[in-house]
């Protein structure tokens, strides 16, 4: 009898302990509550609103403005509490913003790195704090890919190749040298490095195609104009012709077009213009005959980013690399395409 009592008491105690521990686990907030053998978190989530800290590059271009709007609008639509910071094209500002998101214990951090290198320390701080990081638009060159969960954005090397392929074809019957001037994006940024790489990889197939001048215009209209003015001046002094402008984004191309027109050079005719992004202003310029090719880069990644952020916080597996869909638009498509542009 005594033994039956003892066993019943042990059983009761065990059941009570299991119940207490189960109740404790229901309050897991919006964080994943389980971790599997590979270290990826299990898929338990409550309805709590997630907080996303987003460190944006800046407001350097029409593309960036569209990207920011897409992120802000989608956060609202998805019920995500967005903490937004503008780094004004400075890496140190982005690092500060990420550290502040860590201190505020946000659920997830996303950012578009101004430049490719120098992120390991702060990414490690986020990892140590248990806050997942999503890269959007631009990559980091870190060899430790466990420092971020996913990278959503364009294939910039492929964009450069697309520009190069069009030019290669355009110049297939051309005799003699083709002098290309290049307006690079922000020095050290993924799009500047990769768009140059992809373009060069293709144009080397025709020895007539040569990049004769190349300088950064920092992805801005003002800098694009300034650098093109300097190119025009030196071409005049050297008595050389510029046949093609390869601009790493539309804003620099539009600034350069202004400089060319002020110098009495007809953009799109006296000099071929290849640009990237596909903002409305550039399509208008292409419709007006001033740009010959636009390689699209899609900034409207807000809805996808919100989905990835929610999945990551819920502990779901997400793809490590998610590519955006993009097209190539030669001049004869401008009129038809212009009304469809969303940014
Ligand atoms: O990272 C994407 C690039 O950054 C866009 O091509 C450019 O316009 C922007 O500033």
Contact 60, 251 (CB under 8 A): yes
Placement of tokens 């215009």 in the chain: 217
Which strands make up the sheet holding 51-56, listed edge to edge?
81-86, 51-56, 108-111, 133-136, 150-153, 321-323
Cα angle 184-217-195, degrees, rounded to a multiple of 5? 20
Pairing verdict, β 293-296 and 328-330: antiparallel
Any residues with CB less than 8 A from the CB of 232 and at least 6 apart, and which?
A: 242, 259, 260, 263, 265
CA distance 114 to 265: 33
At residue 47 the predicted structure's pLDDT band, cuts being 50, 70 and 90, is: low
* CA of residue 297 to ligand 1 center, whole Å: 8
Ligand 1 binding pocket includes 219 (Cβ within 6 Å): yes
CA 138 to ligand 1: nearest atom:
1
Distance 219 CA to ligand 1 centre (A): 7
Q: How far apart are the CA of 271 and the centre of ligand 1, in A?
A: 23
Summarize the confidence of residues 296-310 as an average pLDDT. Answer: 98
- Ligand 1 center–CA 335 separation, angstroms: 24
Residue 1 has pLDDT above 90, yes or no: no
pLDDT reported for residue 313: 98
Q: Is 25 helix (H, G, I), strand (E, B) or coil?
A: helix
**Residue 135: predicted pLDDT:** 98
Is the shortest distance between the CB of 297 and ligand 1 below 6 Å? yes
Residues of the chain with CATH 3.40.50.2300: 48-154+300-324, 156-297
Residue closest via CA to ligand 1's atom 3 equals 191
Q: 111 CB under 6 A from ligand 1?
A: no
More confident residue, 297 or 5: 297
Report pTM: 0.86
Question: What kind of architecture, by CATH, is found in domain 48-154+300-324?
Answer: 3-Layer(aba) Sandwich (3.40)
Looking at residue 173, the DSSP 8-state letter turns out to be T
Predicted local confidence at residue 14, as pLDDT: 43
If you average pLDDT over every residue of the chain, what do you get?
89
* CA 157 to ligand 1 center in whole angstroms: 13
Q: Is 217 in the pocket of ligand 1 (CB under 6 A)?
A: no
Do the beta carbons of residue 291 and residue 260 sit within 8 Å? no
Q: Which of 153, 140, 249, 225 is nearest to 189 (CA)?
A: 140
pLDDT band at residue 140 under the 50/70/90 scheme: very high
Q: Residue 8 above 70 pLDDT?
A: no
**Ligand 1 midpoint to CA 64 (Å):** 6
Ligand 1 mutation pick, 249, 278, 281, max ligand atoms within 8 A of CB: 249
| Rounded to 5°, angle at Cα 145 from 142 and 151 | 95
pLDDT, mean of residues 236-264? 98
Q: Is 64 in the pocket of ligand 1 (CB under 6 A)?
A: yes
CB 314 within 8 A of CB 43: yes
| Nearest ligand 1 atom, CA 219 | 10
CA distance 91 to 44: 35
For ligand 1, the distance from its centroid to the CA atom of residue 185, given in whole angstroms, is 8
* Model pLDDT, residue 150: 98
CA of 63 to the centre of ligand 1 (A): 6
- Which DSSP symbol is given to 271? B
Distance CA 48, CA 123 (A): 25
Task: Render pLDDT for 185-240 as a digit per residue (tens, 0 to 9).
Answer: 999 999 999 999 999 999 999 999 999 999 999 999 999 999 999 999 999 999 99
* Architecture in CATH for domain 156-297: 3-Layer(aba) Sandwich (3.40)
């Amino acid at each position: 009898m005594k033994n039956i009592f003892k066993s019943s008491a042990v059983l009761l105690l065990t059941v009570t302990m299991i119940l207490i521990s189960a109740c404790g686990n229901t309050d897991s907030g919006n964080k994943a509550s389980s971790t599997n053998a590979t270290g990826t978190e299990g898929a338990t989530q409550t309805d709590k609103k997630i907080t996303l800290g987003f460190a944006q590059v800046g407001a350097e271009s029409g593309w960036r403005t569209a990207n920011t709007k897409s992120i802000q609008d989608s956060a609202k639509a998805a019920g995500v509490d967005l903490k937004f910071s503008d780094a004004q094209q400075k890496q140190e500002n982005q690092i500060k913003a990420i550290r502040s998101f860590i201190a505020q214990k946000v659920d997830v951090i996303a950012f578009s790195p101004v430049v490719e290198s120098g992120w390991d320390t702060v990414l490690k701080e986020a990892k140590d704090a248990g806050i997942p990081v999503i890269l959007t638009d631009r990559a980091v060159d870190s060899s430790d890919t466990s420092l971020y969960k996913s990278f959503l954005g364009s294939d910039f090397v492929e964009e450069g190749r697309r520009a190069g392929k069009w030019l290669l074809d355009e110049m297939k019957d051309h005799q003699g040298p083709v002098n290309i001037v290049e307006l690079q994006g922000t020095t050290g940024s993924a799009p500047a490095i990769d768009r140059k790489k992809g373009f060069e990889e293709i144009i080397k197939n025709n020895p007539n195609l040569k990049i004769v001048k190349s300088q950064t215009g920092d992805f801005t209209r003002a800098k694009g104009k300034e650098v093109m003015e300097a190119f025009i001046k030196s071409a005049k002094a050297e008595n050389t012709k510029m046949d093609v402008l390869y601009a790493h984004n539309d804003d620099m191309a539009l600034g350069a077009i202004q400089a060319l027109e002020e110098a009495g050079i007809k953009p799109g005719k006296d000099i071929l213009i290849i640009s990237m992004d596909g903002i409305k202003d550039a399509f208008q310029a292409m419709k007006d005959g001033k740009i010959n090719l636009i390689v699209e880069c899609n900034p409207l990644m807000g809805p996808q980013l919100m989905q990835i952020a929610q999945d990551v916080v819920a502990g779901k597996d997400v793809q490590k690399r998610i590519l955006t869909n993009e097209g190539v638009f030669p001049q004869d498509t401008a009129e038809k395409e212009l009304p469809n542009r969303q940014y």
